[in-house]
């Protein structure tokens, strides 16, 4: 084992993939200089600027070039430095990359990876802090991964690069510089395989990205109250590995779904709907959802801290699920801010 940060693990995976396959190239704004978070630092020196190409500040153009390169036989890895800017690349990503295989009757493919990052905590305000992964999971033809730790960030990226179609890897900038133990030999982690991080019998917590740490912290707090919470991370939102999540809910009878995105319309709503359908006869309470308030991310440090969902909101939602007595609970849960159903 070795100690790497989340962003160092991404860099190591990129270098490993580029050494193994000369078709792998990296595109993006300032990627030859390392990019805004140094995820591509040193790659241009090792592989040359033919394979690590700086691009104009035009997300649409970058993604369009990547689609063409992928269809011509290369394996481009595109960096969009903030997921907020993916709005400018959606035509190429959604209408071209995601549809190419289907609309060509299987004659074309677009094996590209789009790396981007979102999340709060950097005091970057409403245009540089969003969590927009739910937009992407709504598009047939796209796969979407959300790694919550360094090992997953590397392993899922390796699988994404090898995938025959377009994959979006949504990273979280609040995790970038957290250091942890990573295997010396990086191995691909299959897309569409969930991970259980903690076993429990009383309530299931399904969390994504940064909120996985919040879920583990919440489980520790609940354990002090005699509550055993099971924590699972889907790791890939599309395709979703529903079976282990549903089996957990069937065992515990209660579930909390937690993510950093705004709660209304977030991917947690899809998770809750699928879990409800799969485990309806076993549920002892409605599935509770934790997410951010339905408002743009504040620029103020104090307001952003209050805006960000975390362990405390997950604990409140879990307690509500455990104490559920009927419809009178609804108002109290909604008033709590993060929890709901």
Give the active site residues: 59, 128
Q: Can you tell me the distance from the alpha carbon of 206 to that of 230, in angstroms, rounded to the nearest whole number?
A: 8
- Whole-angstrom distance, CA of residue 193 vs CA of residue 230: 17
Question: Cα–chain-centroid distance for residue 316?
Answer: 23
- CA 259 to CA 233: how far, in whole Å? 11
Residues 165 and 101: their CA atoms lie apart, in Å, by 8
Give just the sign of the alpha carbon dihedral 132, 134, 140, 143: positive
Distance CA 172, CA 7 (A): 10
Helix (H, G, I), strand (E, B) or coil at 316: helix
Helix, strand, coil tally for the chain in percent (to 5): 40, 20, 40
Helices (H), 104-206: 133-137, 150-162
Choose among 125, 131, 29: nearest CA to 81: 29
The β-bridge relationship of strands 179-182 and 2-5 is antiparallel
Total residue length of the chain = 341
Q: Helix, strand, or coil here: 75?
A: strand
Which positions ≥6 away from 337 have C-beta within 8 Å? 293, 313
């Amino acid at each position: 084992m070795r100690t790497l940060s989340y962003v160092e693990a991404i860099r190591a995976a990129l270098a490993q993939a580029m050494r193994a396959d000369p078709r792998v190239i990296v595109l993006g704004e300032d990627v030859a200089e390392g990019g805004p978070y140094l995820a591509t630092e040193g790659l241009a020196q090792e592989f040359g600027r033919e394979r690590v190409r700086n691009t104009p500040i035009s997300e649409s153009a970058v993604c369009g070039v990547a689609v063409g390169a992928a269809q011509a036989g290369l394996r481009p890895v595109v960096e969009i430095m903030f997921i907020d800017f993916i709005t400018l690349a959606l035509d190429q990503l959604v209408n071209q990359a995601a549809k190419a295989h289907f609309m060509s009757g299987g004659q074309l493919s677009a094996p590209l990876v789009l790396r981007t990052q979102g999340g709060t905590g950097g005091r970057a305000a409403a245009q540089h802090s969003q969590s927009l992964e739910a937009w992407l999971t709504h598009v047939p033809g796209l796969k979407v991964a959300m790694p919550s730790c360094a090992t997953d960030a590397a392993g899922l990226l390796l699988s994404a690069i090898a995938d025959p179609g377009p994959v979006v890897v949504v990273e979280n900038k609040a995790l970038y510089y957290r250091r942890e133990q990573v295997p010396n030999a990086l191995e691909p982690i299959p897309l569409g395989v969930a991970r259980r991080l903690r076993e429990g019998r009383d309530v299931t917590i399904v969390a994504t990205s940064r909120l996985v740490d919040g879920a583990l912290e919440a489980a520790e707090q609940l354990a002090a109250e005699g509550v055993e919470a099971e924590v699972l991370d889907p790791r890939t939102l599309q395709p979703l590995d529903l079976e282990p999540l549903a089996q957990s809910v069937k065992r515990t009878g209660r579930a909390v779904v937690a993510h950093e995105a705004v709660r209304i319309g977030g991917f947690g709503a899809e998770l809750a709907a699928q879990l409800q359908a799969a485990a309806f006869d076993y549920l002892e309470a409605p599935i509770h959802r934790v997410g951010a308030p339905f408002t743009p991310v504040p620029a103020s440090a104090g307001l952003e801290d209050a805006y960000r969902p975390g362990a405390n909101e997950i604990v409140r939602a879990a307690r509500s699920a455990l104490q559920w007595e009927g419809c009178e609970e609804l108002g109290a849960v909604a008033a709590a801010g993060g929890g709901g159903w």
